[in-house]
Amino acid sequence: MPPFGYAAILSLLLAAAGCWSQEAATGPGCHLQPFNVTIKSDQRGSCRGTHMLQACVGYCESSAFPSKYAVLRASHFRHNLTSVSQCCTITKMQKIKVRLQCGATRRKTLEVFTAQNCQCDACRLSRY
């Protein structure tokens, strides 16, 4: 099976982008949220399939407070506030196989990742 390129990943992301809504969250905090995604092998959708995946959604507590004097001095009195933020983050992923239908008789299998566990953790730009 030839590997699928960026088109399959891009299609996956674009299909998932339209799935989020405020009503989707089942309650406060950070939790797994299932969503249907359509995966295409290329821009034309020569091979395609749908599958239920999971994402981490919700919110985590963050706070801000006046900086300590040592922080103020070190920043030449420009860092007046210190903030502590947490983001809803995937802590464990699972690889699953998605079967794609290519025309009437041909099928291909593609492996994708889905969230398995979530938790509030330090926000890191590299994760998003």
Q: If we measure between CA atoms, which residue out of 9, 122, 124, 118 comes closest to residue 58? A: 118
Over the chain, what is the mean pLDDT?
79
Torsion of CA 28, 34, 124, 85, to 10 degrees: 0
The CATH number fitting domain 6-17+27-127, selected from 3.40.50.300, 2.10.90.10, 2.60.40.10, 1.10.287.110: 2.10.90.10
Under 8 Å between Cβ of 53 and 114: yes
Whether the per-residue pLDDT at 23 is higher than 70: the answer is no
Task: Please tell me whether residue 5 adopts helix, strand or coil conformation.
Answer: coil
b/e per residue 21-34 (b: at least 16 CB within 10 A): eeeeeeeeebbbbe
Question: What pTM was estimated for this model as a whole?
Answer: 0.62
Whether the per-residue pLDDT at 4 is higher than 90: the answer is no
Instruction: Please write the tens of the pLDDT for every residue from 60-119.
Output: 988 899 999 999 999 999 999 998 889 999 999 999 999 999 888 888 888 999 999 999
